[in-house]
Structure 1
C-alpha cells in the first residue's frame, strides 16, 4: 500500500477513533460530580479559552490568570484563587489520562507493522533459498534484545491509576459507557501523587506492575510467534528477548539504596514471577484432568504455591524441576490424550525458559569514583596492604595496570568504612546468594558509570576476588558506562587495554567472549548538546566495534536511552535499523524509562508492537549489513564539522552566566524534589548550591520541558546547518540527509522535541530586564533550527511526515496549556511573595502542575 494512502487512512482513524471520542467522553467527564469540584467543570472550558487567547495576545501567564478570575469568578482572595487552580489541575490531569486511554484503545487500528521487515515475511520470501535461510538462522542465533526497566523519575502514574487506565482503555474499546462512567468517577477520586517520596522498593513494586501485567504476556507471545515461524522452516528456535531491572540495584548517586534493598527487590521479583506462573498453572490444572498426570500436577501445585505465597519457603533455583514436570505432562498428553491442551503446557514452559527463576535480571550500578574509594579502603587492610605501595593512587594508569595482580584474598577489616564503602562490599558478597536463589541471570552485571580508565574495571574485579568470589566462579559481567563526549572519545582505547589484559581476556572467554558496553545518551546530551551527543555515540560505537572485531569479541551495546529525543529516545527502532555493518547491532540492549514504559509498554498490544519493531529492526539491519554512508570520508568530515559547530554553540550557552539561574528562577527545577516521585535526589551534591555538573540529566531536561523550550533537544542544530549553507555545502548536506537513515532519524526526533516547544508562552520574557537577551538567544536558535530543518527535509511544518503523531502532540499540548500557565503564575508569584502560608501553597501549586505536563508528554520532551 502506498505510504501516502496509508498515512491518510491513519489520519482518518485518528480523527474518528481518538479526537472525536475524546471530545465526546471529555464532555461527559466535565459533568461528573466530584467532591469539592462544584462548578469546576463549567469554568474549565472558559479557562482553556482564556489561556489560549491570552498567550496569542502576548500576555504574561499571571496576567492571563488574573484577568480570568476578574472576568468569570467572584474570587479575590489568594487562598480561593489557588484552591480553584488546584481543582483545575485535578481535572486536567485526568483529561490527560482520558486521552491516553482513548488513544491506547485505538492502538491496534493506528499501528501496523511493516510486513516486509517481519521474520515471517523474510522466511517466506527466502523459503527456497537455502544459503539465505542458513544466513537467517545464524542471524537469529546471534540476535538478542534486552529491555531494561529503570526507576528514573519521570513515571508519574501510581499502580492503582495504571490499573484504572487499563480498565478504561478496555471499556472505551468496547464502547461500554456505563463502565466508562464508573471508571471516570473512580479516576476523579483516586490520588495521582505520593504524599512522601517512594522508597527504592516502592519504585520496584510500581515497575513490577508492567512486568506482571504486560511484559509477562507480550514477551511470551512474541517468542511463541518466533518459535512458530522458525519451526515452519525447520530452523532451530532461539530465545531472543530478555528483561532487565534497575530499581533496587542502581545505586549511582542514590543514597537510599543499600544491599538490603537489593536483596528485598530480588526476592520480590521472584515472588511476583511465581504468582504469574501459579496463575497460569491453575488454568492447566483446571483443563488437564486426565489420568497419567496426577502426580506431576500435584508436585507442580505444591512447588508453585509455596514459592508464590509462602514467605518462609526456602528459596533456590527450581526452574529445571518445573520444566521436568511440565515436560512429563506434555509427553503424556501427546502419547495418551491426542495432545489435548498441550499448548497450555507449552506456553508455561516457554515462559519459564524466558523468565527462569528471576523474571528480570537485576543490574547493579555504581559510580567509578565510589568504587575507587572502596578499592583504596581495601588496600589499607591486611593482607591486601602488602600487595600495593602506599602511593598507588598517585601512580600513572600504566603503572597501576602492572600492579593489579587479581589475587584472591580475604581482607581483615581493621576499621569500618563509610556507608558507600560498606554497601559496595556487602552487595558484592550478596550477589552470590541472589544467584543461588534465583539463578545466575538474576544478577550478573555490574555497571561502572563514569568509567574513565581500564583500571576502573580491573579494580572492581579485584573487589570481587577480595570479597567472597574466586577466579573460577566469577559469574559476573563487568559493564563500563561511557557518558561524556570526552569519555566516548577514549572508550575504544580503554577497551583495547582490557581486551589485551591476560586476566580479563580469560574472564571474557569464560563468559562466551561477550562484552556489554553501556553508552549514556542523557549525560552526553547535557554535556555536549543534541547533535554532538548522537554523533559522539555513533563514532564511539564505530571505534568500539572495530576494537572488538580485532580481539574477536562479541559486542553488545547497552544504550542508556531516556524517554525524550534529548535523552536518546524518540523513534528508537529507527536508530537500530539505520546501523551499518561497521557497528555491532545484533545484540540490542536499551533502558526503558519514564512515560516510555507506560506509553509504549502499558498494554500487551502496545508492548508486543514495540518489541516487534525493535526485533524487526535488528533482523532487517542484520540481513542488509549495508555500509553506513556517514563513514565515507567526505560525509564524516561534514558531520564532524556540524557536530563541532553545534557543540560550540551549546557549550557557549551552557557556560552563559545566566544559564543555571534562568532554570532556577523560571522553571520548577528547585521544587522537583517536592514532587515525591523518586527515591533518587534531583542533584548529586545533596543540599549544596545548584551546579550544572551536579544536576541530573533527567531534572535538566524536565526543567526545559516545563518551560516549553526543550533546549537540549535542538540547540545548536540550526547553527550547524546554517554554517554549512554559508560555506557552500548545502547540496552536500541534502545528499547525506537523503542517503542516511541515521541522520534522518536524528532530524525527525529533533523535530519532535521542537513540536513540544512553545516560545509564545514565555514571549513576555523578551522584555525582561534580567533574562530578555538570554531568552531572545534561545528563541532565535529555535527559529533558525526550525527554518533549517524544514528546508533540509522539504516539509512545510514540523513533523509533517508524521501527521498522526503531530496531531497527537498538538492535542496533548493544548490539554496541558493551562497547567503550564498555572505553573508560570505560581513561580512568578513566589519570586515576589512575602507571606509564608502563601509560599507553601504556591510551591505546591507549581509542583502539582509538573505531573500532568510530564504525563502528557509521554516521552517528556
Structure 2
C-alpha cells in the first residue's frame, strides 16, 4: 500500500499552507503504509488495495485543487462499492490513521529526546518549569519563589466521558507497533531488521483483523480498568520522575545530597466510577468497587518498589549504622510479625535498612491483601516509616541513599496514597431536589423510590471508602448545574438523612459546578450565600479556608456559543477570584475542559497563562478525558513534557508581569469584548433557536447514530426529545459537528463578531497583547483547519433547510476570512508547522472516510415507507441492509475520529 508515498500539496488558492514532512517521519509513515498495503493484499486481495488507492488518488487530487470534479468522481467510485467493500475500504483508511498517529507520536518522542540531548543546561524552554522559576526569581525574589514552589498544585482528573473512539484492544496493538518502530531507531541490520519487519507485518495484520467496534458498551468498571492501564504504564513512574528532574535542576551540584525542595505537586483525581450525573450505571456499590480496584493497583505498585528498594539497600551496619528511631521501628515490626522478621533477619543479619524496608514491603502487601495484623491503617503511617529510614540514612552520612530511590518512593506514596486517585462524586442538582421532595412525602426511607435510595446510598459509600483508604480517597462531591446556595446545602441534608441522626457524616467538600451562561453570571452571589452555611464554615476552618469551584466549558458553549462562553468564563473567573481574596479564601478553580476546541480544548499551558489575575495562584485543576488521556499521558516522555508545561504555566501565571499583562489587556479591550459577546450570541441564537433546528441538526450530522456507538457507559442523552437540545450532552453535540467536518462548536459566531468590531488595527493589537483573545483566535484557526466546506455541503444537503445551510456556510467563510485578517496570515496554519503538517497529511484521507459516511447516512436517512407487500424473507433482507449501513457508519465514525484526533 502506498498511502504515504504522496504527501498532498495544498493549493494556495484554497488557503492551505504547505508543510514539509521530516525525512525520519516520512520514512516511518512510508514503511507503515507499505506494511499495511501488503497486509490488505494478503488478507483480502489486490482488488481491495486497488480500490483504496483509487479513492486515495481522487481525494488527494480534490485536496490539492479546487477539486469539485475529483470529489464527485470519488463519490461515484464509492457508489460502485458494495456495502461490504465500502466497510473494507473504511477500515483500511482507519488503520492508516492509527499508524500515522503512532508514527507522529514516535517522532515527537524522538524530537524531545534529541532536544534534551542537545540542550544547554542554562537554556530552558520558555514553556518549562525552569523558565517559570527563573522569571519568578527575577520578579518576586528567591524566598517568594521558593514559597510558591512549595505550594504548587496540579490536579488532573480522569473522566469516563466517552470521547475515546478506539477500543482498548486497538490501543494495545498500537503500543506494540510503536515499540517495534522504536527498535528500528537503533540501526537494526541483517537478521534483526528482517525479524522486526516480520513482527511489524504480524502486528499490523492483527490490527487490521481486529474489529474497530466494541461488541458491547463498556461498563463503568471497564472504564476504571482502562484508566488503571494508564497508571500502570506511565503515571506511577512519570509523576515522581518530573519531581526528580525539577528538584535536580534546583539543587544543581548538590543534587542527591540535600533534602528535596520540590513537593509532590501532582494529585490525580478521577470521576470514573463516581460520576453519576445522567449515568444510571454508576451505583454506590460500583463506586466502592472502583475505589477497591484503584487501591489494588496503587498498593501493588508501591509494594513492588518497596521490595526492589529493600533488596538493593544492602548498606552494612558497620558503614551506615541505624539510628535509635530505626532500631525502634525494627522492634515494633518484630512485635507485629515475629515469623516474618525472623526470616528477614536471617537473610540480612547486619543490614538494618534492608531488613526494615523488606518488612515495609510485606506490610504494604498485607494492606493490599487485607491482612489486619500486619496491614497499615493509612498511607501516612507508611510515610512515617519511610521517613524514619530516610532520616537515619542522613544521620549516618548516606545522603545519596536517602535522597535517591527512597525519595522516589516517598514521592509516590505522597502522590497516590493507598487510593491512587481522589475519587469524586458528581450528581445533578435536580436529582437532589427531587430526592428531598420525596423524602418529605414518605413515612420511612425504606419507602423511597429506587433512585432516591441510591442517592442516599452514595454517602454511605463515601464513608466506607474514606474509612478504608483515607479521607482523601473520596471527599469531593460536585453538584452539576448549581443555581443557588440551596443546591449545595441540599448535599449536607441528604448526607444526614443517609447516615442517620447519630452517625458522623463522611467528610464532604461540596463543590458547585457552574455550567450555563446564567449560572456563570450568578456564581459569586451563590458562593457568597454558600459560605454562610454552618457545615461549610466548619469545613473551611478544617482546611485552612480552602475552597474549590468548578466551571463547565461544554454546556456554556452549547448555551451561548463559543465566543460568548469564552468571555463569560473569563469574567466569572475574574469575579470569583476577587471574591475569594475578599473573603480570605484559598481558591482552586476546577476547569471542566474537554479535548475538542468546542469544549475548552487546545494547549493547556497557553490557556493557563491567559487566565485572570489571582485565578490560578499556583493551583490548576482540569478534567482529562477520552483521547486526551491517551495523547497526553499514554507515553512517558510525552506525559513528562505535558506535566512540565502545565506546572511551568501554573507557576508563571502568578508572575506580576503576567498578571499585569492580562488585567491590563482585559481592561483595554473590555468594550471590544462586550461588542463581540453581544453580536456573536445573537448570531449563535439565530441558528440554534431557529424553528426546527434540533430536527435539522439530527439530519445533517450523525448525532442520532453516535448513541449507537459503544464508546462509554454513559448515555449520549439526558432523555433527549428531538424537539429540544437542552438535554443533549455537550460531548455528542461537539462530536456530531466534528464528524460532519463543520466543527461548528469551535468557531460559530466569531466571524460576525470580528466583523462587527471592524477595526483591524484594534483587533491585531488585541491579538498581540491579550492572551485570552490570541488563544481564542489560534484555537479557532486550528478548528477551521479541520473543516472542509465542500464536504460540509454534502452533510448539510442531508437536511432540507437551505436557510440554515446558508447561515452555517456564510459564517464559516466569514470566520475564516476574519481570522486571517486578524492574524495577518495568507493561509491557515501558516506558522504552525507541526499542526499544519498533521492536518495536511490526514485531510484527504479523512475526506475519503467522510464521503463513505455520507453514503451510509443517505441510505439511513431515506424515508422508511411501510411496504406491506414484502414477505418475511424480503423484510429480513431490508433489515439486514439497514444493519450493514449502521455498521458502516459506526466504522467511519471511528475512522474520522482517529483522523481528526479529537472527538468531544
Fold agreement, TM-score > 0.5: yes
1:691 to 721, 724, 732: 724
Aligned positions of 1:298-313 closer than 5 A: 298-308=358-368
- 2:465–2:474 CA contact under 8 A, matched in 1: yes
Specify whether residues 186 and 767 from structure 1 end up closer, same or farther in structure 2 by C-alpha distance, changes over 3 A only.
closer
**Counterparts of 1:661 and 1:320 in 2: how far apart (Å)?**
56
1:461 to 473, 489, 492: 492
**Counterparts of 1:211 and 1:431 in 2: how far apart (Å)?**
23
**Counterparts of 2:799 and 2:354 in 1: how far apart (Å)?**
82
Aligned positions of 1:326-405 closer than 5 A: 326-330=386-390, 338=398, 343-380=404-441
Give the superposition deviation at 1:837. Answer: 1.6
Alignment match, 1:270: 295
1:704 to 737, 744, 759: 737
Question: Is structure 2 residue 680 aligned with structure 1 residue 646?
Answer: yes
Give the superposition deviation at 1:340. Answer: 7.3
Give the superposition deviation at 1:558. Answer: 0.3
**Counterparts of 1:181 and 1:374 in 2: how far apart (Å)?**
57
TM-score, with length taken from structure 1? 0.88
Alignment match, 1:238: 263
Could you say what secondary structure the match of 1:466 adopts? Answer: helix
Aligned positions of 1:43-62 closer than 5 A: 43-53=51-61, 57-58=67-68
Unaligned runs of 5+ in 2: 1-17, 117-123, 185-192, 316-350, 865-877
Alignment match, 2:23: 16
Specify whether residues 712 and 630 from structure 1 end up closer, same or farther in structure 2 by C-alpha distance, changes over 3 A only.
farther
Alignment match, 1:172: 181
Could you say what secondary structure the match of 2:803 adopts? Answer: helix
Specify whether residues 455 and 617 from structure 1 end up closer, same or farther in structure 2 by C-alpha distance, changes over 3 A only.
same
Specify whether residues 684 and 220 from structure 1 end up closer, same or farther in structure 2 by C-alpha distance, changes over 3 A only.
same
Alignment match, 1:818: 848
**Counterparts of 1:13 and 1:337 in 2: how far apart (Å)?**
56
Give the superposition deviation at 1:852. Answer: 1.6
Specify whether residues 63 and 312 from structure 1 end up closer, same or farther in structure 2 by C-alpha distance, changes over 3 A only.
farther
Aligned positions of 1:460-539 closer than 5 A: 460-468=491-499, 475-539=507-571
Give the superposition deviation at 1:191. Answer: 3.3
**Counterparts of 1:484 and 1:95 in 2: how far apart (Å)?**
39
- 2:125–2:131 CA contact under 8 A, matched in 1: yes
Q: Deviations over 1:566-586 (max 9, x none)?
A: 100011210111224253442
**Counterparts of 2:593 and 2:491 in 1: how far apart (Å)?**
25
Give the superposition deviation at 1:685. Answer: 0.7
Q: Deviations over 1:611-670 (max 9, x none)?
A: 111111111111233252466555212101101110110111001234222321232211
Specify whether residues 462 and 471 from structure 1 end up closer, same or farther in structure 2 by C-alpha distance, changes over 3 A only.
farther
**Counterparts of 2:761 and 2:896 in 1: how far apart (Å)?**
40
Give the superposition deviation at 1:831. Answer: 2.4
Alignment match, 2:326: none
Could you say what secondary structure the match of 1:742 adopts? Answer: helix
- 1:62–1:828 CA contact under 8 A, matched in 2: no
Question: Is structure 2 residue 749 aligned with structure 1 residue 716?
Answer: yes
Give the superposition deviation at 1:604. Answer: 0.7
Question: Is structure 2 residue 893 aligned with structure 1 residue 850?
Answer: yes
- 1:34–1:188 CA contact under 8 A, matched in 2: no
**Counterparts of 1:312 and 1:472 in 2: how far apart (Å)?**
24
Specify whether residues 28 and 300 from structure 1 end up closer, same or farther in structure 2 by C-alpha distance, changes over 3 A only.
same
Specify whether residues 631 and 492 from structure 1 end up closer, same or farther in structure 2 by C-alpha distance, changes over 3 A only.
farther
Give the superposition deviation at 1:338. Answer: 4.9
Give the superposition deviation at 1:841. Answer: 0.7
**Counterparts of 1:159 and 1:266 in 2: how far apart (Å)?**
21
Specify whether residues 663 and 13 from structure 1 end up closer, same or farther in structure 2 by C-alpha distance, changes over 3 A only.
same
Could you say what secondary structure the match of 1:626 adopts? Answer: helix
2:245 to 222, 225, 246: 225
2:454 to 420, 423, 426: 423
Give the superposition deviation at 1:483. Answer: 0.5
- 2:701–2:795 CA contact under 8 A, matched in 1: no
Q: Deviations over 1:431-471 (max 9, x none)?
A: 11101111111111000000000100012122223332889
Question: Is structure 2 residue 857 aligned with structure 1 residue 827?
Answer: yes
Task: Kindly tell me the number of residue pairs found equivalent between the two proteins.
Answer: 807
* 325-334 or 585-594: bigger deviation: 325-334
Alignment match, 1:258: 283
- 1:444–1:476 CA contact under 8 A, matched in 2: yes
Give the superposition deviation at 1:149. Answer: 0.6
- 1:123–1:133 CA contact under 8 A, matched in 2: no
Specify whether residues 346 and 860 from structure 1 end up closer, same or farther in structure 2 by C-alpha distance, changes over 3 A only.
same
Alignment match, 1:805: 835
- 1:61–1:825 CA contact under 8 A, matched in 2: no
2:615 to 583, 593, 596: 583
TM-score, with length taken from structure 2? 0.84
**Counterparts of 2:441 and 2:863 in 1: how far apart (Å)?**
54
- 1:529–1:715 CA contact under 8 A, matched in 2: yes
Alignment match, 1:28: 35
- 2:846–2:900 CA contact under 8 A, matched in 1: no
Unaligned runs of 5+ in 1: 1-10, 76-80, 383-411
- 2:311–2:354 CA contact under 8 A, matched in 1: no
Alignment match, 2:146: 137
* 26-35 or 418-427: bigger deviation: 26-35
Q: Deviations over 1:748-785 (max 9, x none)?
A: 00111111111111335787882333222211111100
* 480-489 or 572-581: bigger deviation: 572-581
Alignment match, 1:559: 591
Alignment match, 1:612: 644
**Counterparts of 1:265 and 1:331 in 2: how far apart (Å)?**
36
Question: Is structure 2 residue 241 aligned with structure 1 residue 216?
Answer: no
Could you say what secondary structure the match of 1:517 adopts? Answer: strand
Could you say what secondary structure the match of 1:847 adopts? Answer: helix
Specify whether residues 163 and 707 from structure 1 end up closer, same or farther in structure 2 by C-alpha distance, changes over 3 A only.
same
Specify whether residues 244 and 148 from structure 1 end up closer, same or farther in structure 2 by C-alpha distance, changes over 3 A only.
same
* 222-231 or 193-202: bigger deviation: 222-231
Could you say what secondary structure the match of 2:655 adopts? Answer: helix
Alignment match, 1:198: 218
**Counterparts of 1:110 and 1:119 in 2: how far apart (Å)?**
19
Give the superposition deviation at 1:331. Answer: 5.5
Specify whether residues 665 and 311 from structure 1 end up closer, same or farther in structure 2 by C-alpha distance, changes over 3 A only.
farther
**Counterparts of 1:136 and 1:842 in 2: how far apart (Å)?**
60
* 60-69 or 670-679: bigger deviation: 60-69
Specify whether residues 724 and 274 from structure 1 end up closer, same or farther in structure 2 by C-alpha distance, changes over 3 A only.
same
Give the superposition deviation at 1:48. Answer: 1.4
* 603-612 or 187-196: bigger deviation: 187-196
- 1:117–1:619 CA contact under 8 A, matched in 2: no
**Counterparts of 2:617 and 2:395 in 1: how far apart (Å)?**
43
Alignment match, 2:104: 103
Give the superposition deviation at 1:12. Answer: 8.9
Could you say what secondary structure the match of 1:30 adopts? Answer: helix
Alignment match, 1:545: 577
**Counterparts of 1:185 and 1:278 in 2: how far apart (Å)?**
38
Give the superposition deviation at 1:563. Answer: 0.3
* 673-682 or 556-565: bigger deviation: 673-682
* 742-751 or 369-378: bigger deviation: 369-378
- 2:696–2:800 CA contact under 8 A, matched in 1: no
Specify whether residues 829 and 453 from structure 1 end up closer, same or farther in structure 2 by C-alpha distance, changes over 3 A only.
same
**Counterparts of 2:136 and 2:431 in 1: how far apart (Å)?**
53
Question: Is structure 2 residue 171 aligned with structure 1 residue 162?
Answer: yes
**Counterparts of 1:821 and 1:130 in 2: how far apart (Å)?**
55
Alignment match, 1:748: 778
Give the superposition deviation at 1:711. Answer: 0.7
Cα RMSD (Å): 2.9
Specify whether residues 768 and 503 from structure 1 end up closer, same or farther in structure 2 by C-alpha distance, changes over 3 A only.
closer
**Counterparts of 1:314 and 1:676 in 2: how far apart (Å)?**
43
